[in-house]
Amino acid sequence: MHQSTKAVEERLDRFVRDKLEPAIYRDHVALSITAWQAPREPVAFEFATKQQYETVDLGWRFGRAWSTIWLKVSGSIPESWAANQEASMAAEIVIDFGYNTSRSGFQAEALAYDLAGKPIKAIAPKNSWLPWSYANKKVEFFLEVAANPDVAGEYTFEPTTLGDWDTASEQPLYELKKLHIARRDIEVWQLAQDIFTLRGLIVSLPQDSTRRHVLTRAIEDMLDAIDPSDVSGSATAARAKLKAALAAPANASSHRVIATGHAHIDSAWLWPIRETVRKCARTFSNVLSLMDEHEDFIFSASSAQHYKWIKDSYPSVFEGIKKRVASGQWKPVGGMWVECDGNMPGSEAMVRQFVYGQKFFQENFAMQAREAWLPDSFGYSGSLPQIVTQSGISSFLSQKMSWNQINRMPHHTFWWEGIDGTRVFSHFPSADTYISELSGEELAHAERNFSEKGRSSISLIPFGWGDGGGGPTREMIAAAHRTGDLEGSPKVSMGTADDFFAQARSEYANAPVWRGEMYLELHRGVLTSQHRTKQGNRRNEGLLREAELWASYATLKTGAEYPSAKLEEIWQSLLLMQFHDILPGTAIAWVYKEVENRHAEITRELLEIIDSSLSVLANDPSTGSSPQALTANAAPAARNGVAALGVGVRGKSAKATSAVEQGEFVILENEELRVKIDRSGRILSLLSLANNRDAIAIGSAANELHLHNDNPTRWDAWDIDEHYRNTKQVLENVDEFKVNQEADGSAVVETKRLLTAASGKTSTIVQTIRLAPGSNALDIGLEIDWHESEKLLKLAFPIDIHAEEVAAETQFGFVKRPTHENTSWDFARFESCQHKYLFLNEKDWGVAFANDSTYGFDVQRTTEANGATVTSVRFSLLRSTKFPDPEADQGKHSMKFKIRPAATIQDAVNLGYELNYPAREVQGNRVIEPLVSSSAAQVIIETVKLAEDGSGDLIVRLYESTGGRCDSRIAFAGAAEKIWLTDFLEMPTSADHSAGGSIDLQFRPFQVITVRVAGLQIA
Ligand SMILES: [Zn+2]
């Protein structure tokens, strides 16, 4: 047979573009439009609709970046339509704001309201219609139009001023191109859906497959059946030609897909937080409207924060959601407050993401999520399996690992084993997307790509436009219906993530295992970008721990009121700011202005709670004794004679540190350490006097600043590319050098550097090296005024240690990472995450580092001429990328480090807490014994708080921190009526309970245990 499949495909594409799409709507009737522009920030419906509106016409250019325009639209349905209410024609309002309709969102969006202020449905580039009833002859509604600028454009990553109201131009961005009522020809629309599915299927089948040729011939017959001058009149005949092709059943062994409706809405990113509130309202209104038409449509949405916004600001939408949740059509998923970053949130913060997420779901929807839902976060810490499992969750979903640059993750359906050994059943959608439109190409990819073929036959596909694209569309649902049982296609059924996990697990309970963290081989710069936000996060995580500790103690001991509502509000704000485009530093300037202010506000509020709680605790009004200076110690080890978690009198300080200038060098020395520093402020020797061993490799210099070019190929704020290592400038010259002896006996070397960039702007870097009296750790401080551009600043420590791997703190433990590049997996990890500490060691000897606000680091090894291995640790301090925030990291920063030679892993753990929980001075007349203590030093008391249910019970969360097994007696400052163990949601994990002043526990490596204590009478 002479035939060309290619020619048929080309003919089809032209028909769709030139004939079919223009035929979907007809009988357009103009509407009259008036407009009012809100002064700056969004306003409520009641306020907006009372304003003076002015007439505008089609062609009107409007919308400076971030502004809000309200349109009042009115008109009427022609009499002839009403008299002719055919089921084959639907009346609809059709709108075009002059955006790029080939892209799903990231541009102007609108929400339509009826005259009573109830949201009807949203408008987005690929979802630009409103339903209208023929019975409703008078057309009248409001549109709240958000002139959101397209910040990323075509992802060329050019610096842009669009990321803040104040820097964006006043120029209008949009044009009112279309706003009329028309009739949608349903048969023509159905034909378009038939073609969409078959077109995608054809190109996904092998060129020589019989099915491909059968489909091509059916398409050809369909095209022949069309009258080009009367598409509407010939659509039924055309569809008849496709009927057999669409009716052919799927192969017996075809892959199965559970399609769940979804809209990935970033809680802030290329728009400010306030816009996400409206994005959620718009998308959720669309979903409710779609559910009215399709009973089999299931929608999954994560993030309690998003629901809370809707509950607070759009009550009618929230009521609609609640009804659909109750009927099972709408599934809250994930159980988290937001889809946070997967690496940087601290131990308790990661727990609270689930505690407050599940709590909101329980209180508002009478359900809890059973699956963790983190499709887009940039890598996943090895602590998550234990954290999610203890939060009532049995499955884990992600998709991002398909973005790996170098190595392909070997599984799509697997068990993920965490650092403590907990396993959670996990899935990566093999379609490699969480914003599918259920095209033939995507479905075919899901099948071809699926790694577990032969053992498992099912994958999940989340479908729907995200980020203001409006979520799932009726076209996607049409595609799902057509692919339920279609030859050549996977079998698609709409369902929930629960449905998927239940089937996948029963089919393949013996799935393969991935152990440890899931390191994303991309976006390595997110551990460093926007340092002030990361510092605010670390500081407030610490202050929350302190505030809960001291406030719960003050309540139990003195009856002071526990600020539970305030603490929950602060937690929720902090958790929002851990969202996967906020904490990583990948959002626009507007977001960071707001987040830095919010962090500062939270700090003030938490310090008030801490100060008032400590004041109540440390002052006994019944004794006449006068107050003295006391020290509160929130760290898990005793400090200066004050017990862990206690308040006491500071012990006598040690002999002052000496500072001796010896020619080109300065020697700082106390009873523990001798430190040799050159005139550039570099540490040439850090000698532990007890065992006469130097931490610094001979001939190397530590505390050295390295400046690298940092211009990623793509994704500026996200990525540190491997090629950054090809350029390195060592900052040797100093402009000032001082040696100070301070009042507390510390000796300090201070250097100041001025660094003039090519732009002519000067950065200032002040470094201090401080050795406190009697201290076995050296303190390093940096005060930086940063004005570099596309540069990465690192702080280097070449350590004289032959280490195969380093231990980097993560939530409730550490992850070990190789110091070499033996395999492509090792090579890919050239920039990694640490929390408060990093530890490297040989047998019996190690060096610990602690930091107060940096997460990114790299480690490399070199061999000296004498054969000795040098393990170089470098902390990433600052970047200066240009997209999406052209001013990222400009301005003032401060950061602190500690380095301790002759350390064990336990010392490293404690050093991290010591730096992040500095001793706090309080005036009082009462020494306070710890509320709770652990007999085993390796068991860390991470959290002390009162129960979420308001019962007044004490909650204590502890974990084994060193990767070993141990017993520990947990003792309380009084006797309790009842002590038992719970999960993170504070629900009992066994029926056993005891009474008294202590409980004996056994810990596995990195195990987290939560103890609940009722009726505690403080002695
Ligand atoms: Zn995202």
Residue 337 CA to ligand 1 centre (angstroms): 14
1014 forms bridges with which residues in the sheet?
Answer: 978
Residue 514 CA to ligand 1 centre (angstroms): 24
State how far the Cα of 658 lies from the Cα of 674, in Å rounded to an integer: 10
Kindly give the interhelix angle for 273-293 and 304-313, rounded to the nearest 10 degrees: 90
Look at the block and give the residue holding tokens 């610990």.
848
696 forms bridges with which residues in the sheet?
Answer: 799
Shortest CA distance to 642 belongs to which of 887, 933, 994, 897?
A: 933
CA atoms within 13 A on the CB side of 1010: 24
Residue 378 CA to ligand 1 centre (angstroms): 9
Residue 420 CA to ligand 1 centre (angstroms): 28
What pLDDT score does 412 carry?
Answer: 98
The tokens for 85 are: 């209410």
Residue 581 CA to ligand 1 centre (angstroms): 7
* CB proximity list for 131: less than 8 A, separation 6 or greater: 90, 91, 92, 120, 121, 289
State how far the Cα of 314 lies from the Cα of 309, in Å rounded to an integer: 8
State how far the Cα of 684 lies from the Cα of 703, in Å rounded to an integer: 9
Residue 532 CA to ligand 1 centre (angstroms): 21
Total residues found in the chain within this entry: 1019
What single letter denotes the amino acid at residue 547? A
Residue 267 CA to ligand 1 centre (angstroms): 8
Residue 375 CA to ligand 1 centre (angstroms): 8
Residue 406 CA to ligand 1 centre (angstroms): 22
Residue 286 CA to ligand 1 centre (angstroms): 20
User: Sheet harboring 178-185: ordered strands across?
Assistant: 25-30, 178-185, 89-96, 129-131
State how far the Cα of 420 lies from the Cα of 437, in Å rounded to an integer: 38
β-strand 178-185 against 458-463: which pairing, if any? unpaired
CB 284 within 8 A of CB 319: no
Residue 498 CA to ligand 1 centre (angstroms): 22
Q: Is 608 left (phi over 0), alpha (psi -120 to 50) or beta?
A: alpha
Residue 266 CA to ligand 1 centre (angstroms): 5
Residue 323 CA to ligand 1 centre (angstroms): 27
Residue 304 CA to ligand 1 centre (angstroms): 15
The tokens for 13 are: 């594409």
What pLDDT score does 452 carry?
Answer: 97
State how far the Cα of 437 lies from the Cα of 439, in Å rounded to an integer: 6
Residue 385 CA to ligand 1 centre (angstroms): 21
Residue 796 CA to ligand 1 centre (angstroms): 33
Residue 579 CA to ligand 1 centre (angstroms): 9
Running along the chain, 1019 residues long, what does each successive block of 10 average in pLDDT?
83 97 96 97 97 98 98 95 79 96 91 98 97 94 98 92 96 97 97 98 96 97 97 98 98 97 98 98 98 97 98 98 98 98 98 98 98 98 98 97 96 98 98 96 98 97 96 98 98 98 97 98 98 98 98 97 98 98 98 98 98 97 90 96 96 92 96 98 98 95 98 96 97 97 97 94 98 97 98 98 97 97 97 98 96 98 92 98 98 98 98 97 96 98 98 98 98 97 96 92 98 94
Residue 105 CA to ligand 1 centre (angstroms): 14
Residue 12 CA to ligand 1 centre (angstroms): 35
Residue 376 CA to ligand 1 centre (angstroms): 5
Residue 558 CA to ligand 1 centre (angstroms): 45
Residue 405 CA to ligand 1 centre (angstroms): 18
Kindly give the interhelix angle for 210-225 and 186-204, rounded to the nearest 10 degrees: 150
DSSP string, 461-505: EEESB-TTS-B--HHHHHHHHHTSS-TTSPEEEE--HHHHHHHHH
Near ion ligand 1, which residues have CB within 5 Å? Answer: 266, 376
Residue 434 CA to ligand 1 centre (angstroms): 10
What pLDDT score does 85 carry?
Answer: 66
Residue 264 CA to ligand 1 centre (angstroms): 6
Residue 521 CA to ligand 1 centre (angstroms): 17
Residue 339 CA to ligand 1 centre (angstroms): 8
DSSP string, 969-1007: EEEEEEEEEEEEEE-TTS-BSSS--EEEEEEEEEE-TT-
* CB proximity list for 998: less than 8 A, separation 6 or greater: 969, 970, 971, 972
Residue 380 CA to ligand 1 centre (angstroms): 14
The tokens for 396 are: 């884990």
Number of helices (H), then strands (E), in the chain: 20, 52
Residue 471 CA to ligand 1 centre (angstroms): 14
Strand residue runs (E) in 22-137: 25-30, 32-37, 54-56, 61-62, 68-76, 89-96, 109-113, 119-123, 129-131
Q: Is the dihedral of CA 25, 123, 481, 288 positive or negative?
A: negative
CB 8 within 8 A of CB 220: yes
Helix or strand holding residue 240 (H, E): helix 231-247
Q: What is the DSSP letter of 20?
A: I
State how far the Cα of 935 lies from the Cα of 266, in Å rounded to an integer: 44
Look at the block and give the residue holding tokens 């089948």.
205
Residue 159 CA to ligand 1 centre (angstroms): 21
What single letter denotes the amino acid at residue 35? A
State how far the Cα of 929 lies from the Cα of 672, in Å rounded to an integer: 29
Residue 586 CA to ligand 1 centre (angstroms): 10
* CB proximity list for 674: less than 8 A, separation 6 or greater: 667, 668, 685, 687, 689
56 forms bridges with which residues in the sheet?
Answer: 33
Residue 282 CA to ligand 1 centre (angstroms): 18
Residue 418 CA to ligand 1 centre (angstroms): 24
Residue 147 CA to ligand 1 centre (angstroms): 21
Residue 289 CA to ligand 1 centre (angstroms): 24
At residue 408's C-alpha, the angle toward residues 403 and 412, to 5°, is 90
CB 732 within 8 A of CB 715: no
Residue 885 CA to ligand 1 centre (angstroms): 17
